[in-house]
Amino acid sequence: MAIEGASRDRIRDQGSGIVDRGPGTAGDTAPKRWPVWIRQLILLVVVVTLAILYVKKVERRMPDYEVYRRAAVRAAHAEPLYRSSDGHYQFKYLPAFAVATLPVGFGPDRVVRACWFTGTLLLLGFLLRTSVDVLPERRRTRAALIATTFVLMTKFYAHEIELGQVNILMAALVVAAVAQMRAGREMAAGLLIAVAIVVKPYAVLLMPYLAARRRFGSLAGAGIGLGIALLLPIVAYGFSGNLTLLGEWWRTVTETTAPNLMDFNNVSAASVFARWLGPGQTASMLAAGLVLILLGAAGAVFLMRGRVAVPEPLEVGLLLTMMPLISPQGWDYVFLLSTLLVMVLVNYARELPSAVRVVTTIALCLIGFSIWDIVGRAIYQRFMHMSMITVCYLVVIGAAVVLRQRRIA
């Protein structure tokens, strides 16, 4: 009878298009693969297209890449990293980042710039593929998951690559850490989280999460990695020089926050209420309240982790998505960090209640297709001034909580 019941359940799931393939399985059973020559032709077309886009649209831009290169050159000569004279494009990363990226400061700029662009594209591919691999189970084909997530996130990826930013690198490191957690390699996971914090300091939000998981290996790995990172600049600046740099880093981060709050591309909680109500105590209090609500939602999801077999992908995806909302310097393209969570929602969309599924789908479509080339500059600017992208992501976060409540992911 049990076997017959299981068979009926499997037939029912197949009939609804939901197939539990289980973790680590191939999952892509369908259509026959295209001939090798067609795949090679497609690859050639993609490479040529990207090369043309790089030469025509990207090569002469990449302002954030220039920030990193300038910081690497300064670190190589033990010069001050944090200078107000750099204006909007001040270096705002930990000193260890400048020292770790010293190779960026050497070699012909055009060569290094092209390598940076190529490396970012490769990291994006790694991020998408690894996000599929860490899913608790696959309810869609790999191609469908990657394609859907890529379409929804394309505008963020494009902006990131055009700027020469490193959020894709940080997201790839964190998702790789989730893969290590799933494999039981906690020390490696912690080290990857530490590197992610060096790349983007707001990844420090993951440290309380590691502590809450109570896995000694990951905590030890993160602690060792951060310890090395904090001491690394000593090789160039000496002990006292390193302490000075850390103080200047903190001053730079805190002093450059307020001027950015009114920019409509800022999606943080602080920016949303500053634009809606004007800068002041009321806006600050409401922003703090929203941040506490977000952290409370993350905590609630964590407390329900015993309901599912593999809790880390949803939990880490949720924290990554919250980073641009919590950080006062959260720009819209930083939402590319939501790649893992968006893929989780795409994977389990049919498991959501109908109303939640519809609202979440609308939110994701608004996120993905709110591009001025599609909706027009005026509508796009109005959309951003109203902070609708932040509102849409609050819906996405709510859907993630529902998934955990329903013991799905």
Average pLDDT for the chain? 87
pLDDT digits (tens, 9 = 90+) for 230-273: 999 999 999 999 999 999 999 988 887 777 777 778 899 999 99
pLDDT at position 97 over 50: yes
Query: What was the pLDDT predicted at 32?
Result: 62
Contacts 24+ apart (CB under 8 A), 366-371: 366/392, 367/152, 367/335, 367/392, 367/393, 367/396, 368/151, 368/152, 368/153, 368/154, 368/155, 370/155, 371/155
Query: What was the pLDDT predicted at 200?
Result: 94
Q: Using 50, 70 and 90 to split pLDDT, how confident is the model at 279?
A: confident
Give the up-direction half-sphere exposure of residue 297: CA atoms within 13 A in the CB hemisphere.
23
pLDDT at position 391 over 60: yes
Average pLDDT over residues 109-124: 91
Percent of the chain with pLDDT over 70: 90
Query: What was the pLDDT predicted at 39?
Result: 67
Q: What is the pTM of this model?
A: 0.87
Query: What was the pLDDT predicted at 240?
Result: 93
pLDDT digits (tens, 9 = 90+) for 312-359: 999 999 999 999 999 888 889 999 999 999 999 999 999 999 999 999
Query: What was the pLDDT predicted at 253?
Result: 85
Q: Using 50, 70 and 90 to split pLDDT, how confident is the model at 373?
A: confident
Q: How far apart are CA 149 and CA 157, in angstroms?
A: 11
Query: Which H or E run contains 301?
Result: helix 281-303
Residues making up the chain, counted from first to last = 409
| Ranges 93-107, 292-306, 369-383: which has the least confidence | 369-383
User: Amino acid identity of 294?
Assistant: L
**CA nearest neighbour of 342 among 368, 323, 324:** 368
Q: How far apart are CA 370 and CA 387, in angstroms?
A: 12
Query: What was the pLDDT predicted at 231?
Result: 95
- The answer for residues whose C-beta is within 8 angstroms of residue 31's C-beta and 6 or more apart is none
Average pLDDT over residues 148-176: 95
Q: Using 50, 70 and 90 to split pLDDT, how confident is the model at 4?
A: very low
Give the 3-state secondary structure of residue 331. Answer: strand
Average pLDDT over residues 61-84: 92
pLDDT at position 31 over 60: no
Q: Report CA torsion sign: 148, 319, 91, 128.
A: negative
Q: Diameter of the chain by CA atoms?
A: 76
- The answer for residues whose C-beta is within 8 angstroms of residue 214's C-beta and 6 or more apart is none
Average pLDDT over residues 108-130: 92
pLDDT at position 30 over 80: no
| Cα 71 off chain centre by | 23
